[in-house]
C-alpha cells in the first residue's frame, strides 16, 4: 500500500510489530484498560496526523479496510 510516493507501509512491519504494538499492549496493561481502547485512541490520533499531512479521509478508511494481520503473525500479546 502506498500513501506516499516511494514509501510503503509494509517496509515498517518490524517497527509496527516489534515496537508499536508492544507499546500499546504494555500501556493498556499498565493502565488496566482493554488493548482495543488504547489501540483505537492511537489510531484516531495517527489518523489526525495523516489528515494534517494531506491524506484524504477516504484513503485512511480504505487502508483500514484493506489491513489484515494474520493471527499467527501477530505479537503474542495480541493473540
* Distance separating alpha carbons of residues 4 and 9, to the nearest angstrom: 9
Q: Report d(CA 18, CA 78) in Å as an integer.
A: 12
Q: What is the per-residue pLDDT across 37-71, written as a single tens digit (0 to 9) for each?
A: 999 999 999 999 999 988 899 988 888 888 776 65
* Residue carrying C-alpha cell 484493506: 66
- For the cut 80, the answer to whether the pLDDT of residue 6 exceeds it is no
User: Half-sphere exposure of 79 toward its Cβ, with a 13 Å CA cutoff?
Assistant: 7
Amino acid at each position: 500500500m502506498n500513501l506516499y510516493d516511494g514509501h510503503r507501509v509494509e517496509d515498517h512491519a518490524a517497527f509496527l510489530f516489534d515496537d508499536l504494538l508492544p507499546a500499546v499492549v504494555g500501556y493498556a496493561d499498565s493502565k488496566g484498560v482493554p488493548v482495543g481502547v488504547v489501540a483505537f485512541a492511537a489510531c484516531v490520533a495517527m489518523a489526525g496526523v495523516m489528515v494534517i499531512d494531506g491524506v484524504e479521509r477516504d484513503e485512511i478508511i480504505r487502508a483500514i479496510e484493506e489491513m489484515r494481520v494474520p493471527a499467527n503473525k501477530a505479537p503474542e500479546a495480541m493473540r
